[in-house]
Each structure stands twice: as C-alpha cells, then as structure tokens.
Structure 1
Amino acid sequence: MKISVIVPCYNQAEYLDECLQSVLNQTDMNWECIIVNDGSLDNTHEVAKKWLAKDDRFKYFKKDNGGVASARNFGISKTEAEWILPLDADDKIAENYLEKAIESIKKGYKIIYCKAEFFGETTLPFHLKNYSYKQLLKENLIFVSAFFRKQDWEKVNGYDETFTFGYEDWEFWIKLLKDIPDEEVLRLDFTGFFYRRKEMSRDIWINKNKLEKQRTLADIYYKHAEIYHKNFGVYHDLINSNEELRYERDELKKKTDTLLRKIRKNSISKLLFKLIEKL
C-alpha cells in the first residue's frame, strides 16, 4: 500500500528541508512525496531539486500561483496512490506516522489523524476536541495532515480553490466526512504532527482580519446550508444572525470611537466637550 505525501510550497524554501527530511525519515518505506511549487518567488525550485537527487521517491512539479487548495489538488491529481497525506512545507511529521496510519487503514478506518504539537514561535500541545461530525460542523477538529483515500477526494471534487484566505481544510472535511460514520474516523493516540507557529501565517492573519473571517465562515455555512439545517435547524440561523449582529455592532463601535477621537482633537470641540461634561 503506497501513500502519497503532498507538499504544496509557496515561498517556504527556508522550511522545506526540515519538512522533507521528516518524510525521508519514515519507518514505512512505501511512499512517494510530491512537491508542488505554487509559483514561489524564493529559492523553492533549487531546494526541491536537491531532494530529487537524494531519493527518487520525491517528485517535483511547478505551477502558477493559485493558492494552497489549488496546489494540493494539483499534487493529488498527479498521483496513482490510493491514500493521501497532505503536508504543508513549513510543518513536519513524526518518523512513524505513516507506519501507524497503515496499521489503522488495514483495520478499515477511512480518516486517520493523530495528536499534534506546535513548534517554532510556540511549543505547546495542539488541543483539539474529540471528533464527531456534528462537532466538526461547529469548528474544525482535524488539521490538514490527516490520511484519506484519493477516491473520496475525487468524490467531493477536492479542495475548494475559492477559499484562498483559509479554512479550505475545514470545508474539505465537512464535505468529505458527510457520509463517513464517526466510528470510521480515528485519532491515533500519539503525537505525530508538528504545526509550525510563525509570527505571521494564514490562520493568524484571518483571525485578525474579522471581515474576511466572517465572509469565509459565511461561505462555508451557505455552501453547506442543507447539512447545517439538518443538524441544527432554525437554531443555527439564530446563532449565525447573532454573530453577524455582534460583528456589525463592533464595527460601528470602532467607527464611532474613531470619530470621537477626531472630534476631541479639534480645539473648539474640546471646549464643547468640557462644557457638556460640566452640565
């Protein structure tokens, strides 16, 4: 049984060696690793070429920039392997992750992942709640580096390439796991995935950019509205509308605070404010 590790890379050359070394270190030998250069402007090309010379299980493709979802889809389309493991170019995996996953694949599990830790700027456990599909609809419970079958990826038309700012992995799991029973999803009881924390990354950026985050979440909810209605009914609509109202309130407060600061800077306005305060 061959597993294809898909490594999309966009301007991550400085981390690529560490990522690919973690693949080369695998105790199970029956793998291939497809590196997809997604239009990088750094020296990704030169770094990747070195790995082709080290081991012929590494394969390399270069494409125009289209985002991480596009790069993953491109890489998966190039493999004939039955099982897929995405791995971002700045992350890494434990040396026995593939071996443990294959043992579980043979037992009939359809999705396999593990415990995880942050490394880099932060070195802490990556805490995720226990899996259930209903809980997955509320929040992402599975990081991108989990094992799945290529045929399931084909069935759901891969990653949605319109999700360029983030959450493309969560949206992928929502549609992929819709028809897979909870008991066929397994989290291995060991730490096998290491997620690099940097000063700025896509997940940090989108969490700071509330407007883009709200739009992306709305896209997920609307795209899978039937599933959300089935699981949460009208209650979900109320929660969603409340979140939108809270966001609008926060935005209005920001604009009001900015306007008040500008008014207070004006000398005449300062005098008026003092008179008002004395009333």
Structure 2
Amino acid sequence: MNQYKFSIILPVYNGDEYLQQAIDSLFRQTYTNWELIIIDDGSTDQSGKIADQSSKKDRRIRVYHQSNQGLLLARRQGIRRVSGNYLMALDADDQLAETALSKICLSLEQTHADFLFFNFSMDDMFQFPAMNTNFHNLEVFQKEKKNVIYHLIANQVDFNPIWNKVIHRNLFDPTMNYSYFGKRVSMGEDLLQILPLVTAAKKIVFLDENLYFYRINPASMTKQKVDFGAYLSIKEVLLEFFNFVDAW
C-alpha cells in the first residue's frame, strides 16, 4: 500500500481558529505515507506561526509563506511543490476522518482510478452524508459514462468542491496558467480547477464513505461581502465552464 503517497495541499488565509484541528486530522491518519503542504497566503493572524510550529514537529509538513494572492493561486503554488503521486485538498477549517487515507488507498488498489471522489459530512462525527447520489460504492465512470459526471458538474453544486477528490498528479497540466484569473475569482475556484481534471481523467471512481468534515463557519461567511466583484467572479467561472461544455 505504501506505493501511494498522498500530497495534501492546505491553503490558509487568516484561519488560525481551526487550522490546528485540520493539521491534527492528518496526524491521526492510520495511513502514514503522506505530505502536507501548507500555503500561508499572506495571513495576518497566527496561521503562519501555527503552520511553522507543526512543520518543526513533523518532517512530512512543509510550509510556504507568500503575499496574499487568493485561494486559486495559493493552491497552484502547492501543486507545484508536491512529491506524491496522488493529490488532495484540505481547507483550513475542515478535517479528514482518521481512516480516510487508508480507505482511499484500498479503493485505489482495487480500481486503479486516476480520479476518485468520496462523500463528506457536515458533522464532525462523520455520520451523515452531505452529498446525495444514487451511485454504488466503487462505481466506475469512464468513456461514455463520464457524461454522468459532466451532468453532475452542471446540476449538482455539492459535487464541485475539490476537497473531496483524490487526483493523480499526471492529470494536472503544468502549463495551465491561472494567473489571468488571480484574485478576481473569489467564488467558484474549485469548479475552475475541477473542469480540466475531470476532462482529462480516464477512470473516475466514487467511494461511498464520509471521509471529510466540512465545517460551515458562520464567522467566515459573515466576512464575505456579496459585491460587484463577486458577480464578476461568477461570470469568469461560468465563461470557463461553457468553454469546457462545448468541448464535451
């Protein structure tokens, strides 16, 4: 099983309230062949310090500090620094179930998927699935059946987060330049990243397990103002989405 090394990318901007809990969820993993790449995206709180302290405790954690560039470009910085063969994302206020990597590893061994997605939960006991699907465990989507996934992207918003995906590093196009979008895209970043990956994937598999705790954080939500910039962000993402739809 150690042939699978997971690179988890965690971008953080002023997320010190829950960051340590997110990192601790990696320390609890029953599967140990992982690395955590933290991108401190110009935080002005204690996030950078928390990340640095964790990296001193465990060599599997690497921290990079940069000026604020936005979530999309912060994740891209992390992708450039991975050494694993499968990539995952973790948000600073969320957590992975302690058996997440073990179960993912077993699923990859059985299916040889290059793109795997799993269910998630909004309770920290990982009891209740948040994504409603009619898929059976380890269902495979490839060739013509990928149309089911394209339909999901277009019609089911809870499919689009990148943090419940496990993606082979070969699917990432190193020449893809997101700097055009930069901080202009403050909403819909995940969809923007998912589109080319789903398109390139040869074998997509669904793992019917709640492996990720998605925290609804009222504090962070109230800080986000719905302004004209947010509408422009949605417009940018939709234009890119329709470019991919035409190709499908």
In the alignment, the residues of structure 2 paired with residue 158 and residue 230 of structure 1 have an alpha-carbon distance, to the nearest angstrom, of: 19
**Structure 1 residues not aligned, in runs of 5+:** 232-279
Question: Which residue does 1:66 correspond to in 2?
Answer: 69
Per-residue CA deviations over 1:27-47 (Å, capped at 9, x if unaligned) read 111111111111000011221
Q: Do the aligned residues in 2 keep the contact of 1:156 with 1:175 (CA within 8 Å)? A: no
Per-residue CA deviations over 1:72-92 (Å, capped at 9, x if unaligned) read 111111122221111011111
Question: Which residue does 1:84 correspond to in 2?
Answer: 87
Question: Which residue does 2:40 correspond to in 1?
Answer: 37
Per-residue CA deviations over 1:86-116 (Å, capped at 9, x if unaligned) read 1011111001111111222232212212211
- Give the TM-score normalised by structure 2: 0.79
Question: Which residue does 1:115 correspond to in 2?
Answer: 119
User: What is the deviation of 1:70?
Assistant: 1.2
Task: Return 102-111 or 159-168, whichever deviates more.
Answer: 159-168
Q: Do the aligned residues in 1 keep the contact of 2:185 with 2:236 (CA within 8 Å)? A: no
Aligned sequence identity (%): 24
Q: Describe the SS at the equivalent of 2:18.
A: helix
Task: Return 149-158 or 85-94, whichever deviates more.
Answer: 149-158
User: What is the deviation of 1:150?
Assistant: 1.9
Q: Describe the SS at the equivalent of 1:177.
A: helix
Q: After TM superposition, which residue ranges in structure 1, 4 or more long, deviate above 4 angstroms?
A: 128-131, 210-214
Corresponding position: 1:5 with 2:8: yes
- Higher relative contact order (Cα pairs below 8 Å, separated by 6+ residues): 2
Q: Which amino acid aligns with 1:29?
A: T
Q: Do the aligned residues in 1 keep the contact of 2:55 with 2:62 (CA within 8 Å)? A: yes
Q: Structure 1 residues 40, 104: closer, same or farther in 2, change over 3 A?
A: same
Q: Structure 1 residues 193, 128: closer, same or farther in 2, change over 3 A?
A: same
Q: Describe the SS at the equivalent of 1:178.
A: helix
Q: How many residue pairs align between the two structures?
A: 225
Q: Describe the SS at the equivalent of 2:237.
A: helix
In the alignment, the residues of structure 1 paired with residue 227 and residue 13 of structure 2 have an alpha-carbon distance, to the nearest angstrom, of: 24
Question: Which residue does 1:180 correspond to in 2?
Answer: 201
Q: Structure 1 residues 137, 155: closer, same or farther in 2, change over 3 A?
A: farther
Q: Structure 1 residues 187, 147: closer, same or farther in 2, change over 3 A?
A: same
Q: Structure 1 residues 78, 143: closer, same or farther in 2, change over 3 A?
A: same
Q: Describe the SS at the equivalent of 2:172.
A: helix
Task: Return 209-218 or 109-118, whichever deviates more.
Answer: 209-218
Q: Describe the SS at the equivalent of 2:31.
A: coil
Q: Structure 1 residues 74, 5: closer, same or farther in 2, change over 3 A?
A: same
Counterparts of 1:9-158 in structure 2 under 5 Å?
9-106=12-109, 107-119=111-123, 125-129=129-133, 132-140=149-157, 141-145=159-163, 146-154=165-173, 157=176
Q: Do the aligned residues in 2 keep the contact of 1:158 with 1:172 (CA within 8 Å)? A: no
Task: Return 103-112 or 191-200, whichever deviates more.
Answer: 103-112
Q: Which amino acid aligns with 1:176?
A: L
Q: 1:190 aligns with which of 198, 209, 214?
A: 209
Q: Describe the SS at the equivalent of 2:59.
A: coil
Q: Describe the SS at the equivalent of 2:199.
A: coil
User: What is the deviation of 1:137?
Assistant: 2.5
In the alignment, the residues of structure 1 paired with residue 7 and residue 116 of structure 2 have an alpha-carbon distance, to the nearest angstrom, of: 14
Q: Do the aligned residues in 2 keep the contact of 1:7 with 1:35 (CA within 8 Å)? A: yes
Q: Do the aligned residues in 1 keep the contact of 2:5 with 2:34 (CA within 8 Å)? A: yes
In the alignment, the residues of structure 2 paired with residue 226 and residue 79 of structure 1 have an alpha-carbon distance, to the nearest angstrom, of: 28
In the alignment, the residues of structure 2 paired with residue 93 and residue 30 of structure 1 have an alpha-carbon distance, to the nearest angstrom, of: 15
Q: Which amino acid aligns with 1:218?
A: K
Q: Do the aligned residues in 2 keep the contact of 1:8 with 1:72 (CA within 8 Å)? A: yes
- Give the TM-score normalised by structure 1: 0.71
